[in-house]
Amino acid sequence: MELLHTDTLEEARRKLEEQSQGLAPGVVEIGRAEALGCICAEDVVSEENVPPFPRSTMDGYAIKAADSYGTGESSPGYYRVTGHVHIEEEADMTVEAGEAVRVQTGSMIPRGADAVLMKEYAEEYVSGKLAGYRAVSEGENIIRAGEDIRAGSCVIFRGKKIGPADIGVMAALGIQKIRVCRAPVVTVISTGDELAGAEEKLMAGKIRDINTEVLAAEAEACGMAVRKTCRVPDDREEIRNAVEEALDKSDVILLSGGSSKGEKDYTKQVFEEISHNVFTHGIAIKPGKPTLLAFDPASGTILAGLPGHPMAAALIFRLVIRDWYLKRCGAARPLPCPAVMAENVSSNHGRVSCLPVKLRMVKKTEGSGTVTVEAVPVHAKSGSIFALASADGYVMIDRNREGLKKGEQVLVERLD
């Protein structure tokens, strides 16, 4: 009886991070509009104030706020309208005590003015006289220069996933290009004599290849670039050829199937021959134990042997490869969702478990909070792809635990 030496998940992650230092850093400069969804590679610092000058946030009259104090519906204040600032113009006048300058939403505020009286609370006469029916405080209805973005401040941090509002921040600052993390180039290989393509008619004994497509989609979904997917028989030479073909063209090679102790197990041999550097021979996790990790220093390629079971392969991809990529980019892990277990779950003492769960909102009638999120375990064997598709996230069960109790709080990592 041969026993595998297995790493803990943390050991495997740490080794992968250390071993893959040699992988090309990967920063690429791209245009603003293409940056949506990319991870920012360097802090972006503003060189300008936004807005560049004080602006009115209302249609109305720029005045000195002090002039309006004590005025109101029944005791209007009176002002002399001395000009108008169109929104595309520079305000080249000064507002003195008792004066008002007509402004629109977005107009530059003239010197001397420190508030805007909304036009809904004012009445302008043909004579140029203005009655104001409300007191305004200093700064009211004005956005100050730099109030949105101050020159010199960091507006997009390294590691941030660039969202629509970040595109807006760049547009506001006239930033045309941004340095983002280069997407690792990924090759996905499935091995197994039993695998048929999705387009083939199934012969007895054959099943369809799920892993190639799930892993390619997982890689794409987290921002990696999938260059090629292929399927090879459980033949040492063919596996070796497929891996060698991909070496110089890939940052990461995902090879699934063939990493259990089956009699046709060539993944480990091939990885060892090529890299002389297989550093993880199994991870103490359920599902996902038969995971191999190697780094080939010559080509700078991560070689990952993932489990053959689809759910296990997808989860290990997330827990190890995606985690490595996000850490490397300095990206914050997405905030998990606190939830309470909807039922008891048992787990293997001695190795960590990754339990897929569905989330559901439950209205409570008592207590301070009115809503709670429940995590409902998705019970399935590690081969089940539908179970994973049904899950909203997963819960990690510590290796020192024998399970989770109904009502216990857990942190759910989301799968979306």
Q: What's the closest the beta carbon of residue 237 comes to its own copies, in angstroms? A: 17
Q: By CB under 8 A, is residue 24 in contact with its own copies? A: no
Which token pair is 199?
């387009």
Q: How far apart are CA 321 and CA 261, in angstroms?
A: 22
Nearer CB in complex with its own copies: 23/215: 215
User: Cis (ω within 30 of 0) for the bond into 336?
Assistant: no
Q: Are 324 and 17 in contact (CB under 8 A)?
A: yes
φ, ψ of residue 240 to 5 degrees: the values are: -60, -45
Q: Which amino acid is at 113?
A: A
Coil, strand or helix at 148:
coil
Nearer CB in complex with its own copies: 70/416: 416
Pick the stretch among 20-28, 217-225, 345-353, 394-402 that binds its own copies (CB under 8 A).
Answer: 217-225
Q: By CB under 8 A, is residue 126 in contact with its own copies? A: no
Nearer CB in complex with its own copies: 65/175: 175
Q: Are 277 and 295 in contact (CB under 8 A)?
A: yes
Q: By CB under 8 A, is residue 149 in contact with its own copies? A: yes
Q: By CB under 8 A, is residue 163 in contact with its own copies? A: yes
Task: Candidates 20, 71, 187, 212: give the one binding its own copies (CB under 8 A).
Answer: 212
Which secondary structure element, helix H or strand E, spans residue 172, and what is its range?
helix 164-173
Q: By CB under 8 A, is residue 225 in contact with its own copies? A: no
- Half-sphere exposure at residue 125, Cβ-oriented, CA atoms within 13 angstroms: 8
Task: List the interface residues with its own copies, window 271-300 (CB under 8 A).
Answer: none
Q: By CB under 8 A, is residue 366 in contact with its own copies? A: no
Which secondary structure element, helix H or strand E, spans residue 239, and what is its range?
helix 236-247
Task: Candidates 25, 126, 371, 400: give the one binding its own copies (CB under 8 A).
Answer: 371
Q: By CB under 8 A, is residue 131 in contact with its own copies? A: no
Task: Candidates 280, 308, 323, 413: give the one binding its own copies (CB under 8 A).
Answer: 308
Q: By CB under 8 A, is residue 32 in contact with its own copies? A: yes
Q: What's the closest the beta carbon of residue 309 comes to its own copies, in angstroms? A: 7
Nearer CB in complex with its own copies: 200/248: 200
Q: Are 171 and 32 in contact (CB under 8 A)?
A: yes
Q: By CB under 8 A, is residue 174 in contact with its own copies? A: yes
Q: By CB under 8 A, is residue 388 in contact with its own copies? A: yes
Pick the stretch among 93-101, 248-256, 291-299, 407-415 that binds its own copies (CB under 8 A).
Answer: 407-415
Q: By CB under 8 A, is residue 93 in contact with its own copies? A: no
Q: Which amino acid is at 290?
A: P
Number of residues that bind its own copies (CB under 8 A): 113
| Cα–chain center distance at 323 | 12
Q: Cβ–Cβ contacts within 10 Å for residue 4, how many?
A: 12
Q: How far apart are CA 124 and CA 82, in angstroms?
A: 12
Task: Candidates 18, 21, 45, 52: give the one binding its own copies (CB under 8 A).
Answer: 52
Q: Nearest to residue 389, comparing CAs of 316, 315, 285?
A: 315
Q: By CB under 8 A, is residue 236 in contact with its own copies? A: no
Q: Got the DSSP string for 307-333?
A: -SSHHHHHHHIIIIIIHHHHHHTTPPP
Q: By CB under 8 A, is residue 260 in contact with its own copies? A: yes
Instruction: Match 């004012």 to its residue by tokens.
Output: 122
Pick the stretch among 51-59, 64-72, 267-275, 395-403 that binds its own copies (CB under 8 A).
Answer: 51-59
DSSP 8-state code for residue 283: B
What is the rounded radius of gyration, in angstroms, for the C-alpha atoms of the chain?
Answer: 31
Q: By CB under 8 A, is residue 205 in contact with its own copies? A: yes
